[in-house]
């Protein structure tokens, strides 16, 4: 999956760099808008049909819904501080941070509705978030505890970093991680456009 | 922006109403994947055609690392701050019984 994602971008970049004249680029826009709507509709269907997640959530008690909101707030706060240090506009930094590790979606959203530079930054930032999470999850689980180990992965805790969390923590935390990832994934397509339009 | 919200809302409504029909979720994930790869490819095209991005890729990468690191630190900080509260609530709810003996906090 990751390989396919990287390959799509690299293939596009190679074609864009050496083959495709820039003049044709504008004509792609209506096509990409349709693709974006279809993709978001599909993501919506997948989120809406996750019966199992909602049932698990109930069995753990509603307090754990705090976790994704804390992760979201921490990410946006952290991105804002990093933006200040780097001298970036606050809306760009926070929108990039609102990818929560979902690099493919945050990258295409920002390059589609804002600028290709911001899209590239969102893509790379969230790839790095996933890599940092992979390195940090086992360390955080030992040093700080199970719940904190859910935090680094962001939206990826429902898929790519879930196996790692399962191995580093316990069964309940794994369920929390899944719910956390699902909730953050649902926030990405709403928060990224919202923050960039501020 | 409006388009994003509308597409998602329709999707969630369809997904919610069609629970129990596996074919719909399966085809939805196919469409999602196709849309995603197409959009990634186009993002690549635009990146490749933009000298500005290509020339600054190293700088963008460094920025990306710093933002990612701060995002992770912020998230871990807030969750850790509330971990006691959430953990206690979880135990009250009768969950998290995996710990044994001196492993319990």
For the entire predicted model, the pTM comes to 0.80
How many whole angstroms separate alpha carbon A116 and alpha carbon A114?
7
Lowest mean pLDDT across A115-119, B3-7, B77-81: B3-7
* Interface pTM, i.e. ipTM: 0.86
Of the partner residues A8, A20, A109, the one whose CB lies closest to the CB of residue B37: A8
- The residue with tokens 């792609």 is A28
Rounded CA separation B4/A191 (Å): 11
Find how far residue A85's CA is from the centre of its chain: 22
Q: Residue A190: name the closest of B2, B67, B42 by CA.
A: B2
List chain B residues with CB under 8 Å of A81: 70, 74
Chain B residues with CB-CB distance to A179 below 8 A: none
Q: pLDDT band for position B42 (50/70/90)?
A: confident
Higher pLDDT, residue A99 or B41:
A99
How many A-B residue pairs are in contact by the CB < 8 A criterion?
332
pLDDT band at B36 (very low <50, low <70, confident <90, very high): confident
Interchain contact B11–A (C-beta under 8 A): yes
pLDDT tops 50 at residue B93: no
Rg of chain A in Å (alpha carbons): 18
Other beta carbons within 10 angstroms of residue A128's beta carbon come to 21
3-state secondary structure of A60: helix
Length of chain B: 105
Per-residue CA distances from A20 to A11, A28, A130, A146 (Å): 12, 12, 32, 49
Name the residue in chain A with its Cα closest to that of B99: A170
- Residue with the bigger pLDDT between B38 and A1: it is B38
CB nearest B12 (choices: A44, A140, A148): A44
Contacting residues of A for B50, CB less than 8 Å apart: 16, 116-117
| A64: number of Cβ within 10 Å | 25
Cβ(A76)–Cβ(A108) below 8 Å: no
Q: pLDDT truncated to tens, each residue of chain A (198 aa)?
A: 667 778 888 888 888 888 776 666 667 777 888 888 888 888 788 778 777 766 776 777 778 889 999 999 999 999 999 999 999 999 999 999 999 999 889 999 999 899 999 999 999 999 899 989 988 999 999 999 999 999 999 999 988 888 888 888 887 888 888 889 988 998 999 999 999 998
Going from the C-alpha of B105 to that of each of A115, A167, A198, B26, B91, the distances in angstroms are 48, 20, 43, 43, 12
| Residue B60 pLDDT > 70 | yes
Which is more confident, A162 or B93? A162
Across chain A, where does the E strand assignment appear?
Answer: none
């Amino acid at each position: 999956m990751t390989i396919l994602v990287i390959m799509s971008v690299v293939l596009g970049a190679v074609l864009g760099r050496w083959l495709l004249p820039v003049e044709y680029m504008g004509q792609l826009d209506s096509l990409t808008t349709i693709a974006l709507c279809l993709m978001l509709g599909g993501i919506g269907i997948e989120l809406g049909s996750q019966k199992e997640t909602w049932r698990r959530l109930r069995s753990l008690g509603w307090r754990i819904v705090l976790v994704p909101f804390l992760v979201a707030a921490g990410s946006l706060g952290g991105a804002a501080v990093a933006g200040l240090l780097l001298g970036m506009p606050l809306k760009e930094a926070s929108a990039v941070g609102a990818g929560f590790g979902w690099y493919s979606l945050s990258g295409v959203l920002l390059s589609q509705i804002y600028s290709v530079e911001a899209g590239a930054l969102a893509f790379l930032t969230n790839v790095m978030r996933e890599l940092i999470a992979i390195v940090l999850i086992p360390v955080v689980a030992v040093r700080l505890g199970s719940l904190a180990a859910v935090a680094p992965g962001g939206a990826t805790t429902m898929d790519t970093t879930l196996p790692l969390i399962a191995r580093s923590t316990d069964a309940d935390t794994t369920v929390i991680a899944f719910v956390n990832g699902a909730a953050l994934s649902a926030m990405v397509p709403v928060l990224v456009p919202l923050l960039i339009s501020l | 922006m409006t388009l994003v919200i509308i597409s998602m809302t329709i999707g969630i409504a369809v997904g919610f109403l069609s629970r129990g029909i596996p074919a719909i979720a399966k085809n939805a994930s196919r469409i999602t994947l196709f849309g995603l790869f197409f959009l990634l490819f186009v993002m690549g095209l635009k990146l490749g055609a933009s000298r500005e991005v290509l020339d600054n890729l190293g700088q963008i990468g460094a920025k990306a690392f710093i933002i990612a690191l701060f995002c992770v630190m912020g998230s871990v900080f807030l969750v850790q701050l509330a971990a006691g509260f959430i953990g206690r609530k979880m135990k009250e709810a009768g969950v998290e019984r995996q710990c044994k003996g001196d492993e319990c906090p």
